[in-house]
Amino acid sequence: YVGGTGAPKRTLDHAEKMMEFAIEMLRYLDDFNKDSAVPIAIRIGINSGPVIAGVLGNKKMCYDLWGDAVNVASRMESTGIAGRIQVSDATHALLANSDFLFEERGRVECKGKGQMLTYLFKDRKVFH
């Protein structure tokens, strides 16, 4: 599945909103898995950049996003680690002054893109 923030109305805090959503998804799955006979694990990949958005179809309409930013987000997910949030260098740069902490994963081979620098979400900064 693909999710997006900052479209169709552009927002300056889209990366923060997507991180909040991703963290909440992992929290929900942790709670779900406590009572589940079959635990579910997901990989989450986030990228930031320009997209084209629009409505497809005549009978069954669907809002969709296209563009390189979407493709890179997909590569962040497909090369990610189950139970973790992997972000691109572009998203990491947007979150540099946020309260999210990351560890550099290093360069990962991404289909159609080559080696890409990626980061894994670690935790949030604690303010005292």
26 has pLDDT over 80: yes
* pLDDT of res. 128: 62
More confident residue, 8 or 48: 48
Give residues with Cβ within 8 angstroms of 124, minimum separation 6: 99, 100, 101
Query: What are the catalytic residues?
Result: 75, 111
pLDDT tens digits for 44-82? 999 999 998 888 899 999 888 889 999 999 999 999 999
* pLDDT of res. 28: 96
